[in-house]
């Protein structure tokens, strides 16, 4: 069928033509927004899940929901070894600009922008490498008011965040709305910054200030947060984002096609669910190639069969291959040993045994795989791929 009209959208953070199976999360967030704006005690949301399940897309949707309620919003994508100070400053700047025009006292807004500028210009003290090493002209946050003094500029991220968040929230309070700061890839926030962020949220939640941090990250994110602050479980409400149930996966395929007057035969949907396993990225990838291969509507199981190898090949290069490439030879050996032991969590001791090595000698490979986000550990002594179907992919590799 006409590839120009192909509605499917495989790709990182690509907005799907139909956001299927996430009604629970969207409804929950509506309640959070309403309660926070009214100063009611409420835990913020943190989305967790494997690669390609739709965390970024959902986070963007939650952001739209907040904007729809006239909240100020900003978003950052955390990177390992990068302090969140500047990204957070930029995101809050964006959030304040969204609501500033409606505020009746421009001087008050400028005051808070001055605090934001002071916060942004303060060099990180203990932050990760990389930010410090930057040379050249002094970095400018692009805020047109003079930096304030004596607020949010101590250099201690925790203190500074508390002051900045409180001031930013006060602007939102005047408008009976709130501010939402979205953090994608939250597991990559450097440890000292995680601790400062949790502490600031904790402090804020006690005063009822309408500012929330909404995070998304890999499945081990809750353990990263609770290792940093034991009270993080009471701060965040964790929502596990998983593969789509059969009816949601079907809807993700059918709804966009219907808008183009195209239908699926029931056995085509069976075949597509069998290959995608309901993982949103795969739903889009197999949906896309099948559309292109189908001569006309309705799309049949035969079309899926013809098209699937094209999607397999694309996924092997893009989704799986790009990640595999990032691993060193030792890390690849480790992952192949994991894959040979089957899908789901495997014991690190078993991996060592199958490689004929001492567990301790494999720690560097395992640790760097954890750091690269290719595997995660939900429980001590166990490791698991963060990428769905990765084991299956590795087992078909002959390198
Ligand atoms: N609810 C959904 N229904 C249909 N398709 C979806 C849904 N959620 C996500 N997708 C599709 O799945 C793909 C992956 O989405 P996204 O990039 O948000 O995943 P992610 O969890 O952020 O992945 P990563 O961990 O790699 O960042 C995109 O192509 C997107 O269009
Ligand atoms: Mg993402």
165 phi and psi, to 5 degrees? -60, -45
Report the separation in Å between the CA atom of 78 and the middle of ligand 2, taken as the mean of its atom positions. 11
Report the alpha-carbon angle 198-204-208, nearest 5. 140
pLDDT at 137: 59
Task: Check pocket membership of 215 for ligand 1, CB cut-off 6 A.
Answer: no
Task: Check pocket membership of 285 for ligand 1, CB cut-off 6 A.
Answer: no
Q: Which residues of the chain have pLDDT under 50?
A: 126-135
CA distances from 70 to 63, 95, 102, 247 (A): 11, 10, 10, 33
pTM of the model: 0.94
Task: Check pocket membership of 56 for ligand 1, CB cut-off 6 A.
Answer: yes
Chain segment 29-61, per-residue pLDDT in tens: 999 999 999 888 888 899 999 999 999 999 999
Give, using CA atoms, the residue closest to atom 6 of ligand 1.
280
State the virtual CA torsion across 365, 368, 370, 371 in degrees, nearest 10: 180
Task: Check pocket membership of 55 for ligand 1, CB cut-off 6 A.
Answer: yes
- Atom index in ligand 1 nearest the CA of residue 51 equals 25
pLDDT at 14: 95
Task: Check pocket membership of 249 for ligand 1, CB cut-off 6 A.
Answer: no
Report the separation in Å between the CA atom of 369 and the middle of ligand 1, taken as the mean of its atom positions. 22
Give, using CA atoms, the residue closest to atom 15 of ligand 1.
54
d(CA 270, CA 16): 21
Chain segment 190-239, per-residue pLDDT in tens: 999 999 999 999 999 899 999 999 999 999 999 999 999 988 888 999 99
């Amino acid at each position: 069928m006409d590839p120009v009209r192909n509605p499917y959208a495989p790709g990182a953070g690509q907005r799907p033509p139909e956001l299927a199976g996430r009604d629970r999360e969207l409804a929950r967030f509506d309640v959070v927004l309403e309660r926070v704006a009214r100063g009611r005690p409420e835990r913020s949301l943190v989305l967790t899940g494997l690669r390609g399940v739709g965390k970024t897309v959902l986070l963007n949707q939650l952001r739209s929901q907040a904007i729809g309620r006239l909240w100020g919003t900003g978003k950052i994508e955390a990177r390992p070894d990068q302090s969140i100070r500047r990204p957070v400053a930029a995101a809050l700047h964006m959030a304040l600009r969204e609501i500033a025009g409606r505020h009746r006292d421009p001087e008050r807004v400028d005051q808070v922008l001055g605090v934001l500028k002071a916060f942004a210009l303060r060099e990180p003290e203990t932050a990760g490498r990389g930010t410090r090493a930057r040379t050249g002209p002094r970095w400018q946050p692009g805020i047109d008011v003079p930096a304030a003094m004596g607020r949010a500029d101590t250099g201690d991220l925790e203190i500074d965040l508390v002051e900045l968040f409180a001031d930013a929230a006060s602007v939102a309070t005047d408008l009976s709305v709130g501010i939402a700061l979205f953090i994608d890839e939250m597991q990559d926030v450097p440890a000292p910054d995680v601790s400062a962020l949790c502490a600031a949220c904790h402090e804020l939640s006690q005063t009822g200030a309408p500012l929330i941090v909404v995070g998304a990250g890999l499945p081990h994110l809750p353990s990263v947060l609770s290792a940093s602050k034991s009270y993080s479980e009471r701060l965040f409400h964790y929502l596990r984002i998983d593969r789509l149930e059969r009816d949601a996966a079907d809807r993700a395929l059918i709804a966009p096609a219907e808008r183009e007057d195209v239908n699926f035969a029931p056995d085509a949907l069976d075949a597509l669910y069998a290959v995608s396993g309901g993982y949103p990225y795969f739903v889009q990838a197999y949906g896309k190639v099948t559309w292109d291969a189908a001569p006309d509507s309705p799309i049949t199981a035969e079309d899926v069969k013809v098209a699937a190898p094209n999607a397999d090949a694309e996924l092997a290069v893009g989704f799986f291959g790009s990640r595999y490439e990032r691993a060193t030879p030792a890390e690849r050996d480790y992952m192949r040993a994991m894959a040979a032991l089957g899908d789901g969590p495997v014991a690190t001791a078993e991996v060592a045994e199958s490689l004929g090595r001492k567990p301790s000698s494999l720690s560097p490979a395992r640790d760097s795989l954890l750091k690269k986000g290719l595997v995660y550990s939900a429980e001590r002594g166990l490791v698991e791929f963060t990428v769905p179907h990765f084991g299956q992919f590795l087992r078909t590799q002959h390198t």
